[in-house]
Chain A
Amino acid sequence: MTRALPLLVVVVLVGGVQALHALGRLPVFLPAPSELWAAADPRVLAAHIGPTLGRAAAGFAIAAGLALGAAGLATAVAALFGPIYTLGATLQAIPVIALTPLLAVWLGTGPSTQVVIAVLAAQFPMLAGAMQGFRAVDARQMELFHTLAAPPWQRLRLLIVPASLPYVFQGFKVAAPSAVLGTITAEWAGAERGVGAMMLNALFAFDPPQVWLAVLSACVLAGGGYALWAAVERLVVVWDRPAELAP
């Protein structure tokens, strides 16, 4: 029942909008589901969704590498913990929308601008998650590894990394939609293709169905990124989740 409820809400909403359309009561900027369906050209959609997906994935991957590396460094060198966290938070606080035109001037309107923005948008949740996760080892577990005379590499491999996974995945789940939305925002600054470009073009052409298709594409990409990591997490983290993260 609880699983069926969200689906039910969607069905009722879509059906309701379609019914209002049939009654002629819909405003012009709200296309009916049937109009969206008619306006959706798979080739056009793919031509825009593909580049966005690629840029967001590249940005996410780079951000993940940087965040995990920085979190590892912060954990290994206690003096760097505060500065690294502050740097991550500061980068997070810069409005992407303000940075995008600057980057477009520096890097051009090619994919590099969008990837850099995706990195900036996605890095902090992963950094914060990994920094918390790498410290999630409790004192008794450390004592256990001490009595086993475990070398640092074994402590990392057998203790610190597995203990951090619930926190790391938590960060990944939040960061994936951020990477998608960062990419789309960056695409507004003059990309030729991409969901952001599609959105902007449709807006200036006053083509509500295309605008809505772009919005839906963005939602599917962002939600899909979350769902992907949620699924990986469910497969990997089979033990009790940390109490504060439990549903």
Chain B
Amino acid sequence: MSREVLIEHASMVFHPRAGRRGDGVVALQDVSLAVGEGRFTALIGPSGCGKSTLLRLVADILQPSAGRILVGGAPPGEARRAHAIGFVFQQATLLPWRSVLQNVALPLDVVGRGARRSGRSPEALLTLVGLEGFARALPHELSGGMQQRAAIARALVLQPEVLLLDEPFGALDEITRQRMNLELLRIWQESRTTALLVTHSIAEAVFMADEVAVMSARPGRITRLVPIGLERPRTLGMMRTAPFFEAVNQVRDALFGTEQEPLADPVEAY
């Protein structure tokens, strides 16, 4: 099950707090993006380009100042209340007083266990993310990577149709991150959700996504869409192939432009 995510001319202006002077900060300006059912799109851009803000608009955590967002043809609030959106935060944000298994089951406690859809049990999800031996552990007893895997299992327990990932592995080391990416792709393919991943790693964006939306800052906007032609399922071996580098270079060009390095020009250098 999945839903399409449509962003149409969305803008987001953060106004200064009442009583403070100054103009609003334009976090997003006229952003449009379509993520088809069951597709995987990555958002990449420098800090302050509004990529996290865009994700929060889709999750109905923030409301756009202008434009509109549709999740499965309806406003995001409807999808959120239908528990169709799974959100994985930058930090795992597990509740420290609950065991790992209880954390994964938290959404079921919120919704009421009776309302559970015929999805995977929390126990099965723990196995899926490779934490089957840690069901009774408390979050602070786990490493950062394990905590984040528990958070992913939690985001999947209500079988979301849209999975929003806000730099979920940003705090992890390169090796763990690579492994987590592979697991995430496997989980995504099994659960057939629509996925939107915010990242600041070019390689990660290309490796994971069907399409990479490149953003720029001040004001935040999408400057280019780079389709990724790599086959599914993705393998680590693909990261050494020409099509992978081709896509990485396209994204890099979109991020930094194709102009020469400033120091290469002798007049500029001196």
Contact = CB atoms under 8 A, between A and B. Distances in A.
B is bound to A = yes
B93 A141 contact: yes
Interface in B104-133: 106-107, 109-111
Given A140-B93, A141-B95, A154-B109, A147 B85 contact: yes
Interface in A180-215: none
Nearest to A151: B110
A22 interface: no
Contacts of B59: 147
A146 B109 CA distance: 14
Interface string A233-245: 0000111100000
Interface string B136-157: 0011100000000000000000
A217 to B, nearest CB: 37
A144 B86 CA distance: 10
Contact of B138 (A143, A144, A163, A238): A238
Given A148-B107, A154-B109, A239-B140, A143 B83 contact: no
Contact of B87 (A144, A158, A163): A144
B187 to A, nearest CB: 18
A159 interface: yes
A141 to B, nearest CB: 6
A147 B61 contact: yes
Interface in A75-111: none
B10 to A, nearest CB: 18
B228 to A, nearest CB: 28
Contacts of B91: 140
A150 B95 CA distance: 15
Contacts of A162: 95, 97
A239 B96 contact: yes
Interface string B67-103: 0000000000000110101110101010111000000
Interface of A, secondary structure class, is helix
Given A143-B61, A144-B93, A239-B97, A150 B87 contact: no
Size category of the B interface is 20 to 34
Contact of A149 (B80, B93, B95, B106): B80
A154 B110 contact: yes
Contacts of A165: 97
B132 to A, nearest CB: 22
Contacts of A147: 59-61, 80, 85-87
B140 to A, nearest CB: 5
Interface string A110-149: 0000000000000000000000000000001101111111
Contacts of A146: 60-61, 80
Nearest to A139: B93
A149 B87 CA distance: 12
A158 B107 CA distance: 10
A39 B87 CA distance: 69
17 contacts: A140-B91, A140-B93, A141-B95, A146-B61, A147-B60, A147-B61, A147-B86, A148-B111, A149-B83, A154-B109, A158-B109, A158-B110, A162-B95, A163-B97, A165-B97, A239-B96, A239-B138
The 7 A-B residue pairs with the shortest CB-CB distance in the complex, in nearest-first order: A239-B96, A147-B87, A150-B110, A140-B93, A149-B81, A162-B97, A148-B110
Interface of A: 140-141, 143-150, 154, 158-159, 162-163, 165, 237-240
